[in-house]
Amino acid sequence: MNHTVFKPLKKAAIAIVASTLMMAPAIAHDIYIWPSYFNINADKPTHVAVTVTASHTAFRPDYSMPSHGVKVMGVDGKQLRKFGPYYQGQRQSSFDLAVSESGTYGLFYQRQPSYFTKYKVGKRDKVKHLKANKVEAAKQLPKGARDVITRRYKTISMSFVTNKAPTFEVLAPTNQGFELITLTHPSDYVTSEPIKVKALFNGKPVAKKTIIIEQEGPQYRKNPAVLEITIDKDGLATFTLPNGGRYLLKTKYEKDADNELADFDVTRIFYAFEVIFE
Amino acid sequence: MKKQLLLAAILTSATLATPVFANSITVDFSLPKFSTQDYNSPYVAIWTETKAENNSLLLWHSIKRKEDKWLVDIRRWWRKVGRYGEMPADAITGATKGSGDYNVILDIGDLTKFNLMIEVVREDGGRSLLRQAIDTTKSTKYTLKADVEVGEITINVGK
């Protein structure tokens, strides 16, 4: 008899858990944009499939992302006005990049800033979060909330597609905010040759930040094969990858906020690339 | 005068009979047999690399269509030569060939010191990338050990 009572409750619990999973991804998720082909040879106009997703695991889609964050740069380094039909499913979003010119296209996903407030409460110093900026949080925080910190998160995801000979316009820095610039052209990332990147904030080198690089398929290996390196005093980081395949690189930059809505501004960068086995 | 004309005639007929370049190399190699259901004749590229420039000497690929999007899969050749220009001249390109022994005479132009690169890629199969530093002023014969997708290679300079 009890089972009949419990069953609906269980279902309800599952429904709540499921709806939580389907919700927009929490800030902790990595957001990625990547093409099905990183290098192509096309004389005639063609398309390259592009996936946009927030993910727990390298190259395994978990959450779809809306189209308004997508920014496609043409080979001249200018943003394309249109990028065709956009499909937003449950677990991933996708579109087909129209490639009609020789050179390197830039795929970017920029998430609008979102605010998270972290605080401690209760006798046991329980850490809790609010999806609110500093002004909103002040109205919502429970009595006794302490160690309140609000961060503003901005996310930039990027990847590149090259048709025939590589070009460099899309790789140029904008000199606005935190950026990761690749000094080695992405279509020249090959096994056992150094890959050089540079971190900038408002065009100036950023030192001592951590870069994490993870190869696709950590779920199939004994360990996830993560490479962790530190950016040097000139903002440079050089790494060599012995295995060909797809990789995800992540890094972030935190600084004191310049407005009253947050304590800190955080910019997260996610970069999907291919290392050619040579 | 007559002797000179005769000599010129002999030289001309010799030139027409077999392609003799100002500077050439002869490459002997074999493409091994594979007993697999998914056998496709491999793509083969031979090219020169120097600090100044890289040049295609031979390219065997799918010529069914005017455009061959799979050239990207000859990975080093694509990165060093293919992606930068027009397709190599007809004299250099050809259709893929199955397993067997091959003898090719390749024009190296004015080069004397260069890396000779040989890349063999088979769809649903393996890939071999071989490199031989060549200095025609020092040696005229080079031998490269067999690899997964290509048998032993002999390179003769000027023959």
Q: Tens of pLDDT along A233-278?
A: 999 999 999 999 999 999 999 999 998 999 999 999 999 999 999 9
Q: Considering the domain boundaries, does residue A10 fall inside one?
A: no
Its domain, for residue A121, covers 115-149
List chain A residues with CB under 8 Å of B86: none
Whether A173 is covered by a domain: the verdict is: yes
Nearest chain B alpha carbon to A103: B83
Same domain, A81 and A55: yes
Give the distance from CA B156 to its chain's centroid.
12
User: Could you say which of A89, A123, A149 is where a domain stops?
Assistant: A149
Q: Is residue B87 part of a domain?
A: yes
> Complex ipTM, two decimals?
0.79
The per-residue pLDDT for A224 is 79
Best to test chain B binding among A39, A100, A167, A190 (most B CBs inside 10 Å): A39
A223 and A87 in a single domain? The answer is: yes
Residue B67 resides in a domain: yes
Domain that holds residue B45: 21-157
**Residue B30 in domain:** yes
B72: nearest CB among A41, A166, A277: A41
Residue B78, min C-alpha distance to chain A (Å): 9
Chain A residues with beta carbon closer than 8 angstroms to that of B78: 39, 41
Contact A173, A200 (CB under 8 A): yes
pLDDT at A9: 43
pLDDT tens digit string along A99-118?
Answer: 999 999 999 999 989 999 99
pLDDT for the residue numbered A5: 40
Residue A234 confidence (pLDDT)? 97
Structure-token match 């690399």, residue found? B49
Residue A253 shares a structural domain with residue A139? no
State the count of interchain CB pairs (< 8 A) between A and B: 38
Residues A145 and A156 in one domain: no
User: Which of A39, A46, A278 has the CB atom closest to B129's CB atom?
Assistant: A278
Q: Which residues have a Cβ under 8 Å from the Cβ of B92 and sit 6 or more positions away? A: B56, B57, B58, B59
Same domain flag for A243 and A228: yes
| Residues from chain B contacting residue A39 (CB–CB below 8 Å) | 72, 78, 83
Total domains present in chain B: 1
Residue B8 lies in a domain: no
φ/ψ of residue A199, rounded to 5: -105, 135
Contacts of A166 in chain B (CB under 8 A): 83
Mutant choice from B49, B72, B119 vs A, greatest count of A C-beta within 10 A: B72
Q: A40 and B69 in contact by Cβ < 8 A?
A: yes
CATH number, domain of B141, equals: 2.60.40
CB contact under 8 A, B79 and A190: yes
> In angstroms, rounded to a whole number, what is the distance separating the alpha carbons of residues B106 and B91?
10
- Cβ of B79 within 8 Å of Cβ of A44? The answer is no
Find the mean pLDDT for residues A80-86: 93
Residues of B engaging A, defined by a Cβ cutoff of 8 Å: 66-72, 75-76, 78-79, 82-84, 129
DSSP chain A: -HHHHHHHHHHHHHHHHHHHHHSSPPTTSEEEEEES-SEE--SS-EEEEEEEEEESBTTB--EE--GGGEEEE-TTSPBPS----EEE-SS-EEEEEEE-SSEEEEEEEEEEEEEEEEEEETTTTEEEEES--HHHHHHHPPTT-EEEEEEEEEEEEEEEEEESS---GGGS---SSEEEEESS-GGG-BTTS-EEEEEEETTEE--S-EEEEEES-GGGSSS--EEEEE--TTSEEEE--SS-EEEEEEEEEEEE-SSTT-SEEEEEEEEEEEEB--
- A103 and A234 inside one domain: yes
Final residue of a domain: which of A102, A125, A149? A149
As a residue count, chain B comes to 159
Q: Are residues A103 and A122 in the same domain?
A: no
Residue among B69, B72, B84 whose CB faces A165 most closely = B84
Cβ-Cβ contacts under 8 Å, B83 against chain A: 39, 41, 162, 164-166, 187
**For the segment A20-75, what is each residue's pLDDT rounded down to a tens digit?**
444 444 456 899 999 999 999 999 999 999 999 999 889 999 999 999 999 999 99
Minimal Cβ distance to A41: which of B69, B76, B129: B69
Beta strands in chain B (DSSP E): 24-31, 43-49, 54-61, 93-95, 100-107, 113-121, 127-135, 141-144, 153-157
Report the range of poorest mean pLDDT among A152-166, A204-218, B4-18, B75-89: B4-18
Q: Same structural domain for residues A204 and A240? A: yes
Same domain, A193 and A221: yes
Residue A205 included in any domain: yes
Q: With 0-12 CB in 10 A as exposed, 13-18 as middle and 19+ as buried, what is A223?
A: exposed
pLDDT (mean) for A191-196: 96
pLDDT at B159: 58
Contacts of B66 in chain A (CB under 8 A): 43
Asked if B84's CB is within 8 angstroms of A41's CB, the reply is no
C-alpha span between B22 and A102 (Å, rounded) = 35
How much of chain A, in percent, has pLDDT values that exceed 90?
83
Reply yes or no on whether the pLDDT at A16 is more than 70: no
Nearest Cα neighbor of A199 from A182, A174, A186, A185 is A182
Q: Does B11 fall in a domain?
A: no
Is A1 a residue whose pLDDT tops 50?
A: no
Q: B78: closest CA among B122, B47, B105?
A: B47
Question: Is residue A9 included in any domain, yes or no?
Answer: no
Cβ contact A278–B84 (<8 Å): no
Pairwise CA distance, residues B100 & B21, whole Å? 25
| pLDDT above 80 for A198 | yes
Tens of pLDDT, residue by residue, chain B (159 residues): 444 544 444 444 444 445 555 589 999 999 999 999 999 999 999 999 999 999 999 999 999 888 899 999 999 999 999 999 877 888 899 999 999 999 999 999 999 999 999 999 999 999 999 999 999 999 899 999 999 999 999 999 975
Query: Based on the domain organization, do A271 and A166 belong to the same domain?
Result: yes
Nearest 5°: phi and psi at A223? -130, 160
Same domain, A177 and A196: yes
Total of domains in chain A: 2
For residue B12, the model assigns a pLDDT of 46
Domain check: are A250 and A225 in the same one? yes
- Measured between beta carbons, the chain A residues lying within 8 angstroms of B69 are 40-42, 46
Dmax (CA) for chain B in angstroms is 64
Residue A168 tokens read as 């460099």
Q: How many residues does chain A have?
A: 278
pLDDT at position A166 over 70:
yes
Residue A121 token pair: 């409460």
* Cβ-defined contact of B83 to A164 (cutoff 8 Å): yes
Instruction: Give the pLDDT confidence of A220-229 residue by residue, as tens digits.
Output: 988 877 899 9
Q: A19-28, A83-92, A141-150, A188-197 — which is least confidently predicted?
A: A19-28
